[in-house]
Every structure is written in structure tokens, then in C-alpha cells.
Amino acid sequence: MVAFLVLLVVLVPTGYLIDTVVSNAAVQRGRVTASELADQWLEKMSNATTLTTLQNDISRDVLLTPTPVVIGGQPFSVWSHLEWADTGTSPSLCTSGNPPQVIRATITVKWSGQQMGETSIINPPYGTLVPGDGFLSIQIQGANAPAAPSDTANLINVGVNVTPQGGSTTTYNPDKYGCVYLEEPLGTYSVSLSSPAGGPTFVDWQEVLTPSQPSTQVVTAGLPAFVPAFHFDEAGTVTLIPGGSVPVATGMPISVSNGGNLQPSGTKVIVPAGGTAGTATLFPYSSAYSVWYGDCTTVSGVTQEMPSSPAVVTVTPQGSASVTITGLDTLALAITRSAGAFSAPPTATATTADAAAPGDGCPATAETYGLSAFSGSGSSYSDQTGILAQTYTVKVTDPTNSSVTSFSMQVGASGVVYNSTTYPYGTPVPVTVP
């Protein structure tokens, strides 16, 4: 028995050791094979016979082996990414402003959940310029502009969509510096960005998911045309929580500000009127956002619906945060049916009637919000709803006969004004329907 235990003590660690050695050897064999494949493809690209052969793959992630290469029973996939480069010290042509001199080639080999890459410089055959062509320089800057987004692993999968006037769109991928540098025929080009396929979500600094720069001219042969820089980084997700002691009217818009970053008025609507979104994706500014109900823009430095102390939230790339939004006034209604009992609870809506719009920065088109559910019985029902300070046309629908009763109310500075009487917030406003 003692001898058996001693044998186990010796054999078990030895077995683990052997297994580890075999596993490490397999990994090492895979890396050696991947390195050899990368070297072979780099050599093949270096010997490309025409510049066009290389140009077709500039600023693209290209699968070179649609059918994996099987070596020693292990399948390997080979990808390439080519970038224009120069021989100076600047890592990015988009920032150096120099015409390209060479091509930087990166070969990535993937196998069994692993990958490795090798990079080399290629001197293009017959020079770097096709006669009559120019260059298109597209730069992506992140939240820490002018630097590119810091998550380069996702940045290099961003879609950069380039469309010549009258032509079809081609999608490219930026390098780790956020640069796409293309040799193109002279003409007019539009450029837009999109998030990587499969995520994460990117958003630009004006909260646009697919920003664009239209009609960029490439006019001078041999020289770059610079597209205005995109500010595009990984979005943070904010959960929007209604605050206050009463239900919020349905369909309420939500806006944000972030210092002077949001143009042109300093505010952006992140949930439009009639929307039901419970979350929003926002650009990861280092400064905090202010968040409030409403969709009026800033006029003469004043935002009509923004409270003096709005809720604030900070957003980070791919981060999650939540914000509780308060600042609404309480509209309380006490509905009485003069013709007897209701057959079911009534329903009500409030439609904006802003005589000063759009001069006050608020939408000229009326917006309709749903008031909260009524409670009660017989001929008397009541409700309380959080709503913006505004003048409304309130409509009550009687389910007994489908009749609609309309009346005007103003949610103002000191309370709700109805029929020339002001009711303090939370005090039921008595309304009689036929």
C-alpha cells in the first residue's frame, strides 16, 4: 500500500508535466508555422508585379486564404492589412501630410483561437503614384482628440465608407492611428463611418451613429485632399430613469448638454418626442452630461425646459451608467362625468400649444404626451402626471360613448392655470365632461 501511494505521488505530477510539455510544444509548433506562413505572404506581396495589385487591398482587412491552409492537421487562416506610409518619423500619413513613399504590410495568421502578426515595409513597384491620381486622407479622432480612439483592437474594424460621385461605395478600415489614406482618381467623394460589424457601438461627438463628410474634392494629382477629421469613439450606454413621485407623461423627449461641445445650440435631443427609449448611447466626453426632459434648443443663452439643477452623468467608452431625471411639474386632474358613471376609466392626452414657438427654441410642431392612468369609480376619476411647463390642449376620452372633451391648461411658474384659476402643483384640477 505504501509503495502504491509513493508511485501515485511520483506519477501524477509527472503526468501533468508531460501534458504541459506536449501542450507547450503544440503551441510552439503553431507559432512557428504561423510565422512561416506570415513570412511567405509578406514575400509574395513584396514581389507583386503591379502597383494596382497592392492598391486593391490598401486600408482593408483581406482574407488571403478563403480555404484555410492545413498544416499538420491544423487549419490556419491568413489575413492582410496594407497601409500607405512614408519613410519619416511620423507614424501616420493623415497627420504628417506627406505623400506616401512605401506600403506598410501586416500579415495576421489565426489558428485555434490564437493569432500572431508580422509587419514589413514594401517598396511598391514602379513608384507610388498612378499618373493622374490624387490621395484621400481620412482621420478618426477619439474622445482625447487629436489622438485616435484608444481601443485600437476595435478601431481598426471601424467601417470607413468612401463613395465617389456617381460610383459605388467601398468600405475600408483605419490603421491603429485612425488613418485611412487612399490613392484615388480625381473627383468628388463622400465619406461616412459605421461601427465595427458585431460591435461595439461607436458614436461621433454630436451623438450621430453614422457620421458623414459629403463632397470632398480630390483636385491635385499627387497631393492629398484632407477630409475634415471625424470625432468618433466607443459609446457609453446610459440608462434613463424617471424620477419624481408621480408617473411621467408618456412620449416625453429627453435632451442633454455637455458644455459647448454639442453644436450648434449646445443641446441634443437623445429621445425624441413620442419615443420610449429607456437607454441612450453617448459620446465619451471626459466632462459630465446634463440630462433633462424636453427638446427645446438654446436661444440667447436660455434653454426653456432645462431646470436650474439638471441631473448629471459621466460616460466612458463601452461603459454603463444610469441617471435619474427629475424637474417635471405635477399635473393633477379630477374628472367628473355629468351624465352618470363611466363604463371604464377615462384616458387623456396633453398636446403642446406653444404660441411662441419656434422663436423660443421649442418645436413649431405640436407634441402630444399621454397622461397617466386614471383611478376612481363611478362618475369620478383622477390622476397625477409629471409634465413639462407648457401650455397644453388636454383631451379626455370617455370610454362610455367615445366622446372627446378638449380644454386648455397652462402648466406655469406657480401652478396649473385652468379657467383663469391657478391650482398649486399636485392640487386636483376639477374638470367636468358631458
pLDDT digits (tens, 9 = 90+) for 170-189: 999 999 899 999 888 888 89
Peptide bond just before 200 cis, omega within 30 deg: yes
Which CATH architecture does the domain made up of 235-325 adopt?
A: Sandwich (2.60)
Report d(CA 326, CA 338) in Å as an integer. 36
Is residue 140 helix, strand or coil? strand
- Say what the pLDDT of residue 373 is: 95
Letter for the amino acid at 120?
Answer: S
- Write down the domain spans for the chain: 29-233, 235-325, 329-433
Confidence label for 52 from pLDDT (cuts 50, 70 and 90): low
Of 250, 248, 291, 288, which Cα lies nearest the Cα of 269? 291
Is residue 39 helix, strand or coil? helix
pLDDT digits (tens, 9 = 90+) for 385-408: 999 999 999 999 999 999 999 999
- Say what the pLDDT of residue 421 is: 95
Q: How far is CA 199 from CA 115, 153, 155, 159, in A?
A: 20, 12, 11, 11
- Say what the pLDDT of residue 86 is: 78
Q: How far is CA 366 from CA 304, 371, 391, 393, in A?
A: 16, 16, 11, 10
pLDDT digits (tens, 9 = 90+) for 246-295: 999 999 999 999 999 999 999 999 999 999 889 999 999 999 999 999 99
Q: How far is CA 379 from CA 217, 394, 395, 423, in A?
A: 70, 19, 17, 22
The answer to whether 424 and 415 have CB atoms below 8 angstroms apart is: yes
Confidence label for 3 from pLDDT (cuts 50, 70 and 90): low
Q: Among the ranges 12-16, 124-128, 362-366, which has the highest mean pLDDT value?
A: 362-366
**What's the mean per-residue pLDDT of the chain?**
88
The answer to whether 133 and 141 have CB atoms below 8 angstroms apart is: no
**257 HSE (CA, 13 A, CB side):** 24
- Say what the pLDDT of residue 301 is: 84
Q: Is the pLDDT of residue 21 over 50?
A: no
- Say what the pLDDT of residue 267 is: 95
When pLDDT is averaged across residues 396-423 and rounded to a whole number, the result is: 94
Of 56, 99, 52, 100, which Cα lies nearest the Cα of 80? 56
Confidence label for 159 from pLDDT (cuts 50, 70 and 90): very high
Is residue 29 helix, strand or coil? helix
Q: Is the pLDDT of residue 23 over 60?
A: no
Confidence label for 22 from pLDDT (cuts 50, 70 and 90): very low
Percentage of residues in the chain with pLDDT exceeding 70?
89
Q: Which of 55-59, 69-73, 430-434 has the lowest mean pLDDT?
A: 55-59
Q: Is the pLDDT of residue 131 over 70?
A: no
- Say what the pLDDT of residue 351 is: 98
Q: How far is CA 61 from CA 56, 91, 95, 317, 384, in A?
A: 11, 19, 22, 24, 57
Q: Which of 26-40, 260-274, 286-300, 346-360 has the lowest mean pLDDT?
A: 26-40
Q: Is the pLDDT of residue 24 over 70?
A: no
**What are 147's three cell numbers?**
489622438
pLDDT digits (tens, 9 = 90+) for 195-254: 999 999 999 999 999 999 887 766 566 677 888 999 999 999 999 999 988 999 999 999
Q: Is the pLDDT of residue 331 over 90?
A: yes
Report d(CA 400, CA 339) in Å as an integer. 10
When pLDDT is averaged across residues 21-37 and rounded to a whole number, the result is: 74
Percentage of residues in the chain with pLDDT exceeding 90?
63
- Say what the pLDDT of residue 222 is: 63
